[in-house]
Chain A
């Protein structure tokens, strides 16, 4: 999957900032495209375009400074009544593999659609980041093997 498509690349850049995982790690999950598509079922192209422009702007303005990037993300995106809720949903999507239903009033106000809470696909469930972060594996998948639970997990976080 190529990221020549600027919008898709911006989605990954924003996802990396929001999730705390590197773009490369997120690409490696193999489900980013499904998340991108799910997002575009809820917000229209114009709102998406605004969000990507905002992302590019804060990356440029922070100029490699982690703290500055965090501050700008918080101020421009997370606390924005328009983009905050979407950004929080993007985080939950990556961590849980599910789309969480957003509020009716937000959707109405910003011309977006609502979608009920649902697991996006089997693969997204399996690739949920939350399991890695708790040093485990998704229930019913990626089984670590007999007796693995008897010891502390051996992961690099």
Chain B
């Protein structure tokens, strides 16, 4: 491969890498992006892109277990974690059945996708901003750490992220605890109007009227809010922003305002007229057949492709550093021509500035493998996720689930509050797909009816119609605190077939979060009683993430919200990157991604990561000048 030198070398073609590549290439600089996934996954134009995506869809249709990574190729040369391979960990014996080496005590429960476009291929698309107190958890509540930046600092970048992803929401409906009327910019609106709320959402809202929860002697009235999401809907005529563009004279990145601007939803990468609206495929996780849901390939496609080179099937294995100056001199990568073979050639990518945007776990892994950027000893540490506790049952009436986006509304009431001095905040998304997640419905119900209940013929039809249409599922997604002992490390005993490290994970959930499960169960009891729900929630001692707290058992799932592993901070003593997202240790090495987040809050982190990516791009362009 050519040893051409670029202005910027980016490791990772997920949403962070894509935003960086687009922004920096459009500012006139030469960018190289390295991606571990397949060539054919990076096809951006018409027929090949269409055929590649159809192959994902076909794999999905034929998958026995339709888990988040099921449509996408599992590459032995660049493995992705698989939720089906998580097991309880007994004693000191690590579980090595999957890509992760899980040392426990609890198995880390989330996955991600190493493919062009990254995890945005399988994400749900929820786009919530973090709340102001999430950035100052230590000052406000005495737990965790403070960010070296505030919500207000990030606000303009959130607007850029909402433009780039294409977020649908009604701003006047977004009422969050701990915020005031200045939370959104003056006159700010979202690019598209909200995704219509589901029949179930509206049912919930009606029945929860005048319901309050008493917590810590405070009253919390319950209400349901539509969820902002990266999913195409009806464009908002009042939205007049485009860009973001690098404004050289002002040395900043900014959205462009014009009265004559109107927002055009971005459809599929193979055909702009496909996917202009959500069509109700009800399969967002793991795949949107029409690409009405945002994925990062759309951003890569709209980069300045004359200034952007992309090398796929290229797994970064080492960041090369000049030990005297501390400057990064290259990224060594293993280029494999054939995914079915472990054969590879070693190449080096060279640039002025280097960015690792390979997702929290992979970025940390690469830094550790290279012995780079870790004077703080924080690389790999502070791994966090949202613990997802599901509660499910039958409504007294049919609510017709299994339709629409995975979630179109949430109860935001406990995203912030004084209780955070005692236990985790949490968000409560309403799930539109019945018991699909906790029990594998409707398939599991059908098989149970046939095999255990001995139903057949019309009686079977009526039974399934009468019961499964009343299924609903409510999530409690809990914030986790940063802890040094929750970490990713590497070990030469655990390598993949290309000779790169597998992530070794130590993980647990503290009482700060566990005690919130107790509160959540109380809330569930009240809600179920109010709505007359027939409760079917069951946590099994054999669930991989089962734990007990105060003599009660709970299970959780991972939300896929992996953050914290190379966090931003005030000083180099306890953080990996500064507020510019530049590593403290290396002047020309930036890290961009959820790994930069010192706390998680209660929002899906992708929108925050995208905002940080725009800010990172701005800093990098400034550094290049």
A151 proximal to B (CB < 8 A): yes
Q: Does A1 contact B (CB under 8 A)?
A: no
Residues on B with beta carbons closer than 8 Å to the beta carbon of A126: 61
* Interface residue A44 (Cβ < 8 Å from any Cβ of B): no
A24 contacts B by Cβ under 8 Å: no
Selected interface stretch from B92-100, B353-361, B445-453, B616-624:
B445-453
Q: A17-B457, A141-B289 are in contact. Are A131 and B404 (CB under 8 A)?
A: no
Q: Beyond A18-B457, A20-B460, A134-B469, is A146–B278 a contact (Cβ under 8 Å)?
A: yes
Contact at B457–A92, with CB atoms within 8 Å?
no
CA distance A137 to B402 in the complex (A): 8
Q: Considering the chains assembled together, what is the distance between the CA atoms of A136 and B200 in angstroms?
A: 14
Interface members, chain A 95-112 (any B CB < 8 Å)? 95-96, 98, 100
**Most chain A beta-carbon neighbours within 10 Å: one of B196, B233, B456, B465:** B456
* Residue contact B432 to A149, C-beta cutoff 8 Å: yes
User: How many A residues are at the interface, by size bracket?
Assistant: 35 or more
A139 part of interface (Cβ distance < 8 Å): yes
Instruction: Pick out which of these stretches binds chain B: A3-11, A29-37, A52-60, A115-123.
Output: A115-123
Instruction: Write out, one digit per residue, whether chain B residues 391-425 have a CB within 8 A of any chain A CB (1) or not (0).
Output: 00000001011111100100000000000000000
Verify A131–B289 contact, CB threshold 8 A. Answer: no
Interfacial chain B residues near A149, Cβ < 8 Å? 196, 198-199, 280, 282, 403-405, 408, 432
CB-defined contacts of A65 to chain B, threshold 8 Å = none
The closest CB in chain A to the CB of B59 belongs to A122
B-side contacts of A119, CB under 8 Å: 61-64
* Minimum Cβ distance to chain B for residue A145 (Å): 6
Q: Does A61 contact B (CB under 8 A)?
A: no
Whether A45 is near chain B, meaning CB under 8 Å from some CB there, is no
A19 in the interface, Cβ–Cβ < 8 Å? yes
Q: Contact at B280–A134, with CB atoms within 8 Å? A: no
Closest Cβ–Cβ distance, residue B236 to chain A (whole Å) = 15
B400 touches A153 (CB 8 A): yes
Task: Identify the interface centre among A125, A141, A146: most chain B CB within 10 Å of its CB.
Answer: A146
Q: Which of B58, B282, B405, B460 contacts A136, CB < 8 Å? A: B282
Which residue from chain A places its CB closest to the CB of B447 in the assembled complex? A92
Q: A119-B62, A139-B282, A140-B61 are in contact. Are A130 and B277 (CB under 8 A)?
A: no
Contact (Cβ within 8 A) B199 A152: yes
Contact flags (1/0) for B446-482 with A, using CB distance below 8 Å?
A: 1100110010111111001100110000000000000
Q: Name the A residues within 8 Å of B408 (CB-CB).
A: 149
Let me know if A41 is at the binding interface, CB within 8 A.
no
Q: How far is the CB of A124 from chain B (nearest CB, A)?
A: 9
Q: Are A78 and B198 CB-contacts (below 8 A) given A92-B447, A146-B280?
A: no
**Given A139, A145, A151, which contacts B279 in the complex, CB threshold below 8 Å?**
A145
* A157 vs B574: C-alpha distance when bound (angstroms): 63
B199 near A150 (CB under 8 angstroms)?
Answer: yes
* Smallest CB gap from A89: residue in B: B450
Chain B: interface size category: 35 or more
CA distance A127 to B279 in the complex (A): 19
B169-199 Cβ-contact flags toward A at 8 Å (1 or 0):
0000000000000000000000000001111
For the complex, give the distance between the alpha carbons of A141 and B62 in Å.
13
Q: Are B446 and A20 in contact (CB under 8 A)?
A: no
A125 to B62 alpha-carbon distance, docked (Å): 7
The answer to whether residues A122 and B61 also contact, given A144-B403, A149-B403, A150-B196 and a CB cut-off of 8 A, is yes
Residues from chain A with a CB closer than 8 A to the CB of B60 are: 140
In-complex Cβ contact of A130 among B62, B442, B459 (8 A): B442
Q: Which of B287, B443, B456 contacts A96 (CB 8 A)?
A: B443
Evaluate contact between A141 and B199: CB separation under 8 angstroms: no
Against A, the Cβ 8 Å flags (1 = close, 0 = not) of B40-80 are 00000000000000000110111110100000000000000
**Which residues of chain A (69-110) have a CB below 8 Å from chain B?**
70, 73-74, 78, 87-88, 91-92, 95-96, 98, 100
Q: Which residue of A lies closest to B202 (CB)?
A: A150
CB distance from B203 to the nearest CB of A (A): 10
- A143 and B281 within 8 A (CB): yes
Question: B307 at interface (Cβ–Cβ under 8 A)?
Answer: no
Q: Complex formed: what's the CA distance from A154 to B217 in Å? A: 46
A19:B457 contact, CB within 8 angstroms: yes
A6 to B442 CA separation, bound complex (whole angstroms): 33
| A133 in the interface (beta carbon within 8 A) | yes
Of all chain A residues, the one with the shortest Cβ separation from B276 is A146
Q: Which residues of A sit under 8 angstroms from B233, Cβ to Cβ?
A: 146
Nearest chain A residue, comparing its CB with the CB of B200:
A149
Residues of B within 8 A of A148 (CB): 280, 403-404
Instruction: Flag whether A50 is at the interface (Cβ < 8 A).
Output: no
- Residues of chain A with a CB closer than 8 A to B459's CB: 20
CA distance A153 to B400 in the complex (A): 7
When A78-B456, A149-B196, A150-B199 are in contact, do A139 and B280 touch as well, CB less than 8 Å?
Answer: no
Query: 8 A-B residue contacts at CB 8 Å?
Result: A17-B457, A20-B461, A21-B461, A98-B64, A133-B461, A135-B400, A146-B277, A149-B403
B→A interface (CB under 8 Å): 57-58, 60-64, 66, 196-199, 202, 233, 277-283, 287, 289-290, 398, 400-405, 408, 432-434, 442-443, 446-447, 450-451, 454, 456-461, 464-465, 468-469
Query: What 3 A-B pairs are tightest by C-beta distance, nearest first?
Result: A149-B404, A140-B283, A122-B61
Known: A70-B457, A149-B280, A149-B432. 8 other contacts (CB 8 A): A18-B456, A74-B456, A96-B446, A118-B62, A131-B402, A134-B469, A137-B403, A140-B282
